[in-house]
Structure 1
Amino acid sequence: MFLRTARGRRASLALAAGAAALGLALTACAPSGGASGSNGGSGSADTLVAYTGQSGDYQINFNPFSPSKIGGLGTIYESLFFVTNANTNDYVPLLATEYAWNEDGTQLDITLRDGVTWTDGEAFDADDVVFTFELIRDNPALNTGGFNGEVTKVDATHVSIAFPEPAFVTGPEVLGKTFIVPEHLWGDVDPTTDVMAEPVGTGPYVLGEFKPQAFTLSANEDYWGGAPAVKNVRYLSLSGNTAGADALAAGTIDWQTGPVPDIENVSENYPGYEAITVPMNQIALLSCSNADLGCEGPQTDPAVRQAIYYAMDRDQLNALAFQGTASEMSPTFALLPAQEQFISAEIDEKVAPAKTDLDKVDEILTGAGYEKGSDGIYAKDGVKLELTVEVVTGWTDYITAIDTMSQQLKAAGIGLSASQSSWNEWTDKKSKGTYQLAIDSLGQGAVSDPYYLYNNFLSSANTAEVGQAAPVNVARFSDPAVDEALAVLKRTNPDDTATRQEQFDVIQAAIVEDMPYIPILTGGTTSEYNVEKFSGWPTEDDLYAFPAVWASPDNAEVFKALEPTGK
C-alpha cells in the first residue's frame, strides 16, 4: 500500500487563508465477497465497496478527534469548508458559506449555512461551532494545531474568531480541518476517550451496519446538499495488499489505494477499472528519537539515524517495493518538486542520495564510537547495532521495502528486522512511543507549504513522554529553536517571504542534523477505481480531491461526486 497516513493534498497558500492541516491518520478497508465482474461485487448498482488496506478487525471508533478513528471525517462530520491541496481552487462551502479575515489576520468572520440539521433531527447553528472550537481549545490532547482563538457567536448564522496575534496560517485548519460536533450530545462526552459508537453529524452519510469485518455508511436522505447518489459505502477488512489486488481482479471492490501487479497497465489488466498516481507524501522511517522523553534503543542516537539514511539504496527500494511510482525526496521534508523553493540555501544536500554510501556510514558510526564486529555489524559498548521496524501486517509494499532495506543495511553493518502487527497495534506503538522505528509517510498540510508538516510533526506541543499518546509528533522531537521558528511562522503574513524563509532555514538545519524522521522516498499514491460502475472520479485534468480512498475528508467529496452508471 503506497502511503497510508491521511496524507495531504496540494494547494497554493492563499493570502487570506494560510493553513495548518493535520496529517490525518490512516485506516484501511477491504472488499466483500460477491459476483465477479467489474460491478464491485456489491449486489447493488448504487453501493460502493471500498478497500483502504485494513487488515484485521475494525474496532468501532467514530470520534472525529481520536487518532484511532476508523472513519467519518467528511462523510458523517463536516467542516466549515472543504479544503484540499490537490488543487488551487477556492475553498468549497460546506457548513459555512463565506469567510473573511481582517487586515492584520487577528480576526476571522464566518457566515454559516442556514437550514442544516443534525442526523438526529436537531438544528445546527452557531452554538455548535462555538462549542466545537472551545472543546478543542480547552483539551490539549485535541488541539494539535495549537488553536488559541476566542470564538464568539454573533447570531445563529455568524461567528467571529479573535486571535491574540496574526493567525493567517491557521485558516485552512480552522476552516477545513475542524469537524463540527453537536453541542447537545457532546456536552457530557469525554472527547479523548469516547468512541462515539452512534455518531451524529451533518454529513452526507450516517453509520449503517457495523461489524468487526466490515461497516457500511448509508446515505443521509435529509442531507442539506441533497442525498448522494451513492447510497451505501461498504468498508471491508482483508488480509492486506495481495488480497486487495485479488479482489480488484475479481471485481469485488470498487475503489482501493495500493499496489497491484503491473501497476502501469491497470485499465488493460483490470477491465472496467482505471488508476491514478499522485506524488504527495513522504515515506520515512519514523524513530522514537528523544531519550529525554523516554525513548529507548540505538535509534535515539542521531548518528545511527544518519547512518541509516546513507545506507539506503533508494533506486533499488523504488524498483522493488514501489514499482517505480516513488520519486526523489529532500531531507528537509519540503515536498519535491512543488516546495523546492523553500529549501534552505544552507542545506548542501537538498535531495536524499539515490545510492548507498558505505564510506559515509562508516565515517558517521566510527565517529560516534561504533566499531564493526567480526560478523560485519557495528557495535558500541558491547551492544550490536540492531533495530526493529514496525509495519502493518499485509502492507506488502512497506514490508518489501523493509526486507530490501534490511539487506542494504546489513551490507552497511546495521541490523534491521521487521515486526508486523495489526493497524491498531501499530498505531498504538507509534502514538505511545513504544517502538524503535516504524515505516509510514508524513502527510502534507491543507495547502502546499512546508510549515504545516513541520508544525504537525516537529512541534513540542504535538508530542508527549513515552507512554502517553502523542497526537502527531510520534518521533518525540523537541527543539526550542524549532518551536520558536514555528511560532514566528504562525504569526507571519504569508506575503513576508523573507521572514518565513529565515524560519524555514532554522527548522531545516535542525531536522537534517537530527533526522528524527529518516527520509526514504516521496511516495506516489496510486488508486484504482471502477469506472464502469461509477462516473465522476477525480482525474489528472480534474483533481477536485485527493483520490486516495483513505484520505478524509477528500474521499467524502468523491463519494458525493460519483454517479452510478447502473451497470
Structure 2
Amino acid sequence: MSFELAVPLEPKPNFNYLTPPSKINGIYPARREHGARQVLFEPLFHLNLETGELEPWLGLFMQPDATQRVWTLKVRDGVTWSDLMPKKPLEPEAKRYPFTADDVVFTSTMILGNVNLSAYEASRFRAAVEKVEKIDELTVRFTLRNPNPRFAIENFGDAAFGSLMIMPKHIWENQDASKFAFEKPIGTGPYTLEEYTKDKVTYALDPGWWGAKAGFDLPGAQPDKGGKLPKVRLPEPTELVWRYTEAPETLDLLPKKDLVAPPGDDPAIEGAANAEQPLQPTDWLDATRELSPKEAKLAIEAGGEGKVVTWDDPEKPGWNTACARQLEINTQPTVVTKYTLPGEAPQTPIENPWSDPRLRKALAALIDRTAVGKAYGYTDELVNPQKTWFAATPSTTMFAAYGSMKPFIQAVEAAKFELAPTADPSAAEALFKDAGYAKEGGRYAKDGKALAATIAVIDGTSDAKGADALETQLEAAGIDITIDEQPNERYWGWTVPYGRYQMAYGWLSCGSLAEPYTSMKRYAYSPQEQNKDDPTFDNTGRWTVPAAYKDALAAMASLSLRDSADASKPNPQLVAKMLEAYKVLDEEMPFIPLVQTPRIIAFNTAHWTGWPTSAKPGNPAHDWGSIHKLLQNLEKVQP
C-alpha cells in the first residue's frame, strides 16, 4: 500500500520528531509525515473528531483531580515495543521490551529538561507540566503548572496539532536527545521500518504486534447486527510505503477507466492483448497528498466506477480542515499596511474606519459566504448548468465544523449569534446608516470620504481566490477593496503578528477541536500583553478586549469539559460561559468567520476498500498523525 508525500524526504533517515528538520531548498522535508508517526509509533489516545471522545489506545484512561491540575494516566497492560530483550537462561525465546510507566515518565522528563527539543509538542508540554511521577508500572501522575481541563486532548489526543509520542527508554536513555537521529526506530505500532531511501520509506507488518494479541474493542467502531463491537486485529496490508512524487505525477499513479490491467493482473486478459493497449500504472498510489479541487475531479472522473473516492460526493462538502477561514480586522484607530524593508522609514499610520464595530458588523452582513466558498472549488464551465466541485461550505461560527464541535456550534446558533450563508444587505444598510455612512455615487462614504479596505492574503493560494471573491462582492456593494497579495514569509513574519494590516484573510481562530476555549482564548490577550519585539499570532488585530469577554474566558479556562451527570454531553457551565463570551464577539466582531475549507485526499479502491468517508467517518488526513484506526477498516479487494 502506498501513501503520497507532499514534500521530499531527508537524504538520511531521521526519526526524532522532537527536533524539527532543517529546510532543504527552502522547504521543510517530510519527517513528521513519512510513516513513523502514522504506523510505527502509537498515541496514548485518539481524539474522535466525530464524537469528541478521547478514545483509548496505549492509554486506558486519563483523569484530572477536582482542581484540573493533577492528572492520572493509566496505560494498557501487555503493550510491547517491537524489539527483543536479551534472552535469559532457560527462556525458550527472547521476550519483547514492555511498554510501561517508565517509558512515559522518561519521555516526559527528557522533554521537561531539554529546551533544545523544540518541536511544537515538546514546547507545549514543557509550558504545561511542572513534574511527572511514576505511581506504579502502569500509572503516571502529571502535575501541571496551572489547572487545565484540556491537557489530555492537547497533549495526547493524536489530532491535527500534534500529539506527544512516547519514546522507548531503553533506546533513548543514553543518547543526546537533541542530536539523536533515531535512524533505526523502535515503536509499539503494527509496522517496523524495512527500508529508508531518499525517495521512499517502507514499513513491514509486524506479525507479533501486541494489539492483535490483545484484541481489545476497536475504539469508535459501531457494533454489528448482533451488538458485538469489532476487535482490534492485525492490519491486512503487509507493507506500507510513503513516497514523494512531483505533483504532476499524482494523477498518473491512480486508476484509469480506459486503461487495462498489466499482464498477469487480470486472468481474463492475455498478456499480448495487454501489450497493445495503454496499461494501468504498476506503481500505484493508494492514498494521495492533499489535492486541489480540479485534481480531485479529474482523478475521480478518470478512475470511473468508484475506483477513486474522496470524503463524499464531489458536489457536496469535503472533509474540512481544522482551521476555518476568516477575515481578521485591525481594530486600531490608525494602521500601517505598507511593507518597508529594514532601515526604510515606516509608513505614517493611516486612519482606520474599521475600528468602529458597527462597520465590522455591517461588513459581516454584506458577505455571501456561499459565493466565497464556491471560489475554493473547481467550476466546470463546459456543462450547462455550470457545476462546482468541492466548494468550501459557509461558516456559521468561528469553529471548525467537526462533529466533535457540534454541541458548541448548535448552542451559538440557538443563541442567534450565527452568521448567514448569504448576504443581508438590509441589515448592513441599517448599520452603515447608524455609523454615519450613506451611498454617494454607488459607494459608501462619510464626510465625502469613500469607505475602503485593504485585505492582506498569501499569494498563489486558494485563500487568494477567496479574497478575490470577497473583493467582487464588496466592490459591488459599494466598498473600495484592495487585495494585497503577499509572499508567505512576509504575511506570517512581517504583516500579521505585528498587526500591520487593515484586514487579513486567514485562519487565526484555529485551535478548538472538541471544546471552545482554545480558539476563543486567542482573542483574550489585550494589545498591551503583546511582546512588541516578538508578538504572537493571538489577537493580531489589537482588539481592546472587553472585561466581559476576559471574565468569561477566565471562567472557561478551568471548567471541566464534560457534564458530570452525562459524560456524552458537554459541561453546561462551559456552554453558558462560552455563550457569554460569544455574545461579546457578536457585538464587537473583531473578526468575521467565512468558510470551512475542504481538505481533499483521494483514495484508490482498486486494491483496498474501507477508506474513510462521510458514510463511515474517520480521519482521512494520513499526514496529520497515526492512521491505526484507518488501517483497521481496510480490506483487500479480492481478484
TM-score range for the pair, normalised by the shorter chain length: 0.5 to 0.7
Q: Is the 8 A contact 1:130 1:159 kept in 2?
A: no
Cα distance change, pair 50–389 in 1 and its aligned pair in 2 (3 A): same
Secondary structure, in 3 states, of the residue corresponding to 1:460?
coil
> Contact 2:73/2:141 (CA < 8 Å) preserved in 1?
yes
1:515 pairs with one of 577, 580, 589: 589
**Partner residue in 2 for 1:86:** 50
Residues 1:135 and 1:123: Cα distance change in structure 2 (over 3 Å): farther
Change (3 A) 1:362 1:70: farther
Counterpart-to-counterpart distance in 2, 1:512 and 1:80? 38
Name the CA distance, whole Å, in 2 between partners of 1:246 and 1:376. Answer: 50
Question: For residues 218 and 469 of structure 1, what CA distance do their matches in structure 2 show?
Answer: 41
Amino acid of the structure 2 residue aligned with 1:47: S
Distance 1:48 1:548, change over 3 A: closer
Tell me how far 1:48 sits from its aligned partner: 2.4
Alignment of 1:66-465 (within 5 A): 72=32, 74-75=37-38, 78-87=42-51, 91-94=55-58, 96-102=59-65, 105-112=68-75, 114-116=79-81, 125-131=103-109, 134=112, 142-143=123-124, 147-148=128-129, 150-155=131-136, 157-163=138-144, 167-177=148-158, 178-180=163-165, 182=167, 184=172, 202=187, 204=191, 216-219=200-203, 229-236=238-245, 238=247, 253=285, 254-261=287-294, 267-271=300-304, 272-277=307-312, 278=318, 280=320, 281=322, 283-287=324-328, 289=330, 298=352, 301=355, 303=357, 305-322=360-377, 323=388, 325-331=391-397, 333=399, 335=401, 338-343=407-412, 348-355=416-423, 357=425, 360-361=427-428, 364=431, 376=443, 385-391=452-458, 393=460, 395-396=461-462, 398-412=463-477, 413-417=479-483, 419=485, 421=487, 428=493, 432-433=497-498, 436-440=503-507, 442-443=509-510, 445-447=512-514, 449-455=515-521, 457-460=522-525, 464-465=530-531
* Greater RCO, CA 8 A, separation 6+: 1
Find the counterpart in structure 1 of residue 534 from structure 2: 468
User: What per-residue deviation string (whole Å, max 9, x for no partner) do you get for residues 187-213 of structure 1?
Assistant: 8667xxx997979673657697686xx
Give the root-mean-square deviation of aligned CA atoms.
5.2
CA gap of 1:77–1:313, structure 2 versus 1, over 3 A, is same
1:531 alignment partner in structure 2: 605
Q: Is 2:369–2:422's contact at 8 Å kept on the other side of the alignment? A: yes
Give the aligned partner of residue 621 of structure 2: 548
Q: How many residues align?
A: 498
Q: State the alpha-carbon separation in 2 of the partners of residues 145 and 411 from structure 1.
A: 50
After TM superposition, the score normalised by the length of structure 2 is 0.61
Contact 1:150–1:161 (CA under 8 A) maintained in structure 2:
yes
User: Whole-Å Cα distance in 2 between the matches of residues 565 and 150 of structure 1?
Assistant: 49
- The aligned residue for residue 6 of structure 1 is none
What displacement does 1:310 show?
2.7
Q: CA deviation at 1:437?
A: 1.0
Amino acid aligned to 1:539: T
Residue identity matched to 1:548: A
Task: Give distance in 2, aligned partners of 1:561 and 1:233.
Answer: 19
Query: CA separation in 1, counterparts of 2:184 and 2:365?
Result: 47
* Distance in 2 between residues matched to 1:511 and 1:301, nearest whole Å: 14
Question: CA-to-partner distance for each residue in 1:284-335, whole Å, 9 max, x for gaps?
Answer: 2342746599986759735464444233222322344333744442245484
Residues 440 and 363 (structure 1), Cα distance of their counterparts in 2 relative to 1, 3 Å cut: same
Q: In structure 2, how many angstroms separate the alpha carbons of the residues matched to 1:172 and 1:371?
A: 49
The letter of the residue matching 1:519 is P
Q: Using the alignment, how far apart are the partners of 1:235 and 1:427 within structure 2?
A: 27
Once residues 461 and 549 of structure 1 are traced to their aligned partners in structure 2, the CA distance between those partners, rounded to angstroms, is 37
* One-letter code aligned to 1:315: T
Superposed CA deviations along residues 451-500 of structure 1, whole A, max 9, x for unmatched, are 34324x43539995466363676666673644443332232233274432
Structure 1, residues 34-66: CA drift from partner, whole Å, max 9, x if none? xxxxxxxxxxxx322255xx7xx8899975586
Supply the AA of the counterpart residue of 2:288: W
Which ranges in structure 2 are unaligned for 5 or more consecutive residues? 22-27, 85-95, 212-233, 257-280, 313-317, 338-349, 378-387, 565-570
**Pairing of 1:6-17 with structure 2 (within 5 A):** none
Deviation at residue 421 of structure 1 after TM alignment: 3.8
Percent identity at matched positions?
15
Deviation by residue 1:393-421 (Cα, 9 ceiling, x = unmatched): 3x44x343222211112223131325264
CA distance in 2, matches of 1:554, 1:517: 33
| Partner secondary structure for residue 532 of structure 1 | coil
Letter in 2 for 1:547: P
C-alpha change, 1:185 and 1:474, in structure 2 (3 Å) is: farther
One-letter amino acid of the structure 2 residue matched with residue 238 of structure 1: A
Q: Partner letter of residue 417 of structure 1?
A: I
Letter in 1 for 2:72: D
Moved more, 487-496 or 359-368: 359-368
Q: Is the 8 A contact 1:327 1:522 kept in 2?
A: yes
**Residues 420 and 465 (structure 1), Cα distance of their counterparts in 2 relative to 1, 3 Å cut:** same
Given that 1:312 and 1:409 are in contact with CA atoms closer than 8 Å, whether structure 2 keeps it comes out as yes
Whole-Å Cα distance in 2 between the matches of residues 245 and 309 of structure 1? Answer: 39
Q: 1:502 aligns with which of 572, 576, 593?
A: 576
Inter-partner Cα distance in structure 2 for 1:483 and 1:308: 25
The whole-number CA distance in structure 2 between the counterparts of 1:506 and 1:69 is 43
Question: In 1, Cα distance between the equivalents of 2:363 and 2:112?
Answer: 43
Kept in 1, the 8 Å contact 2:201–2:242? The answer is: yes
Structure 1 residue ranges without an equivalent (≥5): 1-45
- Assess if the C-alpha contact under 8 Å between 1:430 and 1:474 holds in 2: no
Q: 1:311 to 1:111 in 2, by over 3 A?
A: same
Shift, 1:392, TM fit: 5.5
Find the counterpart in structure 2 of residue 41 from structure 1: none
CA contact 1:84–1:554 (8 Å) conserved in 2: no
Larger Rg computed on CA atoms: 2
Q: Helix, strand or coil: the match of 1:518? A: strand
- Determine if contact 1:317/1:404 at 8 Å carries over to the other structure: yes
Shift in alpha-carbon separation, 1:283–1:491, aligned structure 2, 3 A: closer
Counterpart of 1:553 in structure 2: which amino acid?
G
In 2, Cα distance between equivalents of 1:199 and 1:516: 49
Q: CA deviation at 1:276?
A: 1.1
Residues of 2 paired with 1:79 and 1:404: CA distance? 41
Q: 1:439 is aligned with what amino acid? A: G
Deviation at 1:152, TM superposition (A): 1.3
Deviations 1:53-109 (A, max 9, x none): x7xx88999755869895527326643212221346661313x34444456655432
Q: Matched residues in 2 for 1:446 and 1:102: separation?
A: 23
Which stretch has the larger CA shift, 500-509 or 275-284?
A: 275-284
Aligned residue type for 2:423: K
State the alpha-carbon separation in 2 of the partners of residues 217 and 459 from structure 1: 43
